[in-house]
Structure 1
Amino acid sequence: MFDLTDVGFVKRITVGSTNPERMATEEEVQAAADLLNRCLSDSPKGRIIGVEKNFSILNIGEHQVVLQCVVYHVGFPRKPYWLE
């Protein structure tokens, strides 16, 4: 049983594009997904305690651009040594 009172550290991981001036590359998105997977599988094992789903539609000239991102809040009992 997971209890929020056990959470001593929260890592916020953004997967996707948040800046219209600079779109996230496929490598950056994959690196964020790899970090999320490591947070959920390595010791100390984290748990997802919250999720934000964001999108915005921008008109740039004649084109519409959709920015999408998902922000995961991963809770840990203590800060993992492998997180910077």
Structure 2
Amino acid sequence: MGLGLLHFDGRVIDDDGRPLLESDDGEELMHVEPGIAVTLDSRPTESPGTLYVTSRRVIWLSDADKGKGYAVDFLSLSLHTV
């Protein structure tokens, strides 16, 4: 896994599966984008999940596997588009 990318599986226990945020440190949910598939390194593309943009990091949580997710803080983030 890349530098700054962490496994993440913290979810709010309710029916929508939102990520568990660090609200004590002021983290807020800014945007939600469902139906996002991710590809990490040379691994196969993950099945679609939901991308959450918070005030501190980007979190992707799998829709199919409730224990699978990734998070990266903004200081470790770079984007490349195709």
**TM-score with structure 1 setting the length:** 0.31
Higher fraction of helix: 1
- Larger RCO: 1 or 2 (CA < 8 Å, sep 6+): 1
Bigger fraction of residues in strand: 1
